[in-house]
Structure 1
Amino acid sequence: MRALLAAGLERALFHPLKLLPSETVTRIGAGLARGVVPRLYPHLQERAMATFRALRPDLDPEAATAESWGNIAASFAEMSRILRFWEEGRVEVVGEAHLRAARTAGPLLLAGLHLGNPEVLGLTLAKLGLRPVGVATRQPSDFREQVITDIRLRGGGRMIRADRGAGRPAIRVLEGRQETLLFWMDDYIGGVVRGPSLGRGPRTEGNIPYAVRLARLTGCAIVPGFVERLPGTRFRTHFLPPVALPPEGSLEEGAAALDAVVDAVVRERLTQWLFTISWRPG
């Protein structure tokens, strides 16, 4: 019942929100988070507070959870306006030189994280002319699937469905060197957030070790990227230096090197991580 109520609210608000200024849309989304969402999902509220206690004991768990819900709900509300963000001057970019250097040297895998409003990440790649190809899982509702797919295609990207057959088209993207493979390191499968480790031990399955396998197969650079939400409806897209994988190391050593980078990024910005409400220890 809670899921149906949330899906109905999302569907009902989407088209009216298109008609409002972007800043208003963000405020409405964040306001709904404060007034509605925690009541719909009290178990996720408790889980998020436990996550902050475990991973960021320096933060007040109640305040941090409220900020986390605000970012999540604002991100969903912003889907109605996101294709206008670049032209409205709402996105700044840090680290573009890392992308350009990696693209010049060879294939490029963008190791994405679901921070800030994650859809801004693919939009940034497209606007920089780097032609993103996202490895995408299906959204939890048909309506959201339709909305997200439309945003990604109209925004200048395309998608590979994240299933057992995704490996070959992903390798073709990398070997073709005309597009950028956008591969999420914090994959959420079967109710489990598989990466980054966040104190749970080395990642032996999921997208982090798979990205290392792709790098071994194709020689691609792995460049971490994420979006930081700024005050107002503004965003900063970060691209970090390519991850230095051990040249002769094992898959486990390579995964540990990549995990160490993305783990630190997520911990520092835990209130803006979309999976804070879903993460579990162990």
Structure 2
Amino acid sequence: MPLDVGQGLERLLHRGLRRMPIAVVSDLGARLAWLKIRVIDPDVARKARRNLRRHYPGASADEIESIVWRFVANVGRLMAEFSVLHRFVPTRHMEFVGAAEARAEIGQMPTIALCLHLGNWEVLAAGLKSIGIQIASVAEIPTRAVHREIAAETRSGLDVRVLTPDRNGLLRIMSILKTNGVVALFADEKRNGNMMAPLFGRPAHLEGNLAMAARLARHTGAQLIVAYSERIGKTRFRLHFCRPIRLDTPAGDPHADVAYLNDLIEPIILLHLDQWYYLDDAIEPVG
């Protein structure tokens, strides 16, 4: 019974947020996240500080603290913004970098979008929809019913086809790529409590989405485009679509493919640690 009540309250909150101004919803999310980390879960801030000191050994305590609370605010904002994504207007809330070049390439060949958990990554789908590109995205299915409902409602409004990370999902991916469609995979990911990528100095491995993207690209001839969202204002985003690349060298060591893709995403994440969702989970750099 308590679980049902809790989920009912979440549904009610989601419905209420959908009717509020976007800026108000985003600000509310930032404030609630600040309160939660200060009072309920300070371990998140502690872990983020630890990882930042390892990545920025020369940063002052004040600089580290500033990044930590920008990170907390961004997480709070993106969580709250999930309820109002369908109301984001490209001319008001987004600007595009590399979209025209990517748009010209997409549709001419199969495309794998290597997305990153930066800024508010769900805005990428809204931005792609606005320029006429439909995507299918591999995503874990939320365990709680209310979260499944909210996610399905939001993503259906963005024309995102959600694929499950299983054999059925893989078959659908192959079908989409064979028709020159677009499949989105998150290059930075956490599985079973472990950060799969970026590698941050660890050896390349053949588990996770980087290895899957490399295998799919080799098998289908798909181009790969790194795509990410950068928050440049409270509710304004710069959507980056990097130059398309292809793994058209002779197939060799698959670990080398993974290392190559990691070298594409890792510098981007390191430049935007204050907007990276996994900052408090990040694997330590080696050495």
TM-score (norm 1): 0.90
Q: Residues 62, 247 of structure 1: CA spacing in aligned structure 2 closer, same or farther, 3 A cutoff?
A: same
Instruction: Write the distance in 2 (CA, Å) between the matches of 1:115 and 1:8.
Output: 30
1:190 has 2:192 as partner: yes
Deviation at 1:219, TM superposition (A): 0.2
CA contact 1:28–1:77 (8 Å) conserved in 2: yes
Residue in structure 1 matching 2:268, options 265, 268, 279: 265
Mean alpha-carbon deviation: is it higher for 193-202 or for 213-222?
Answer: 193-202
Per the alignment, in what secondary structure is the counterpart of residue 243 of structure 2? coil
Q: What value does the CA root-mean-square deviation take over the aligned residues?
A: 2.4
* Counterpart in the other structure of 1:125: 128
Per the alignment, in what secondary structure is the counterpart of residue 112 of structure 2? strand
Mean alpha-carbon deviation: is it higher for 90-99 or for 75-84?
Answer: 90-99
Instruction: Write the distance in 1 (CA, Å) between the matches of 2:200 and 2:38.
Output: 24
Instruction: Write the distance in 1 (CA, Å) between the matches of 2:69 and 2:262.
Output: 27
Amino acid at match of 2:18: K
Per the alignment, in what secondary structure is the counterpart of residue 280 of structure 2? coil
TM-score (norm 2): 0.89
* Counterpart in the other structure of 1:30: 30
Q: How does 1:158-173 map to 2 (within 5 A)?
A: 158-173=161-176
Deviation at 1:8, TM superposition (A): 8.2
Instruction: Write the distance in 1 (CA, Å) between the matches of 2:267 and 2:11.
Output: 35
* Counterpart in the other structure of 1:106: 109
Instruction: Write the distance in 2 (CA, Å) between the matches of 1:38 and 1:163.
Output: 38
Amino acid at match of 1:169: R
Residue in structure 2 matching 1:81, options 61, 76, 84: 84
Mean alpha-carbon deviation: is it higher for 158-167 or for 186-195?
Answer: 158-167
Could you give the per-residue CA deviations for residues 53-75 of structure 1, whole angstroms, max 9, x where no partner exists? 11233553322111111101100
Q: How does 1:1-282 map to 2 (within 5 A)?
A: 11=11, 13-59=13-59, 60-86=63-89, 89-177=92-180, 179-245=181-247, 247-248=249-250, 249-281=252-284
Per the alignment, in what secondary structure is the counterpart of residue 139 of structure 1? coil
Q: Residues 87, 64 of structure 1: CA spacing in aligned structure 2 closer, same or farther, 3 A cutoff?
A: closer
Q: Residues 246, 82 of structure 1: CA spacing in aligned structure 2 closer, same or farther, 3 A cutoff?
A: same
Taking only the aligned residue pairs, the percentage that are identical comes to: 28
Instruction: Write the distance in 2 (CA, Å) between the matches of 1:132 and 1:83.
Output: 16
Could you give the per-residue CA deviations for residues 2-40 of structure 1, whole angstroms, max 9, x where no partner exists? x99997875553222222211111111111122223432
Instruction: Write the distance in 2 (CA, Å) between the matches of 1:4 and 1:257.
Output: 46
Amino acid at match of 1:81: V
Q: Structure 2 unaligned runs (5+)? A: none
CA contact 2:217–2:246 (8 Å) conserved in 1: no
Per the alignment, in what secondary structure is the counterpart of residue 89 of structure 1? helix
The structure having more radius of gyration, on CA atoms, is 2
Mean alpha-carbon deviation: is it higher for 185-194 or for 200-209?
Answer: 200-209
CA contact 2:136–2:160 (8 Å) conserved in 1: yes
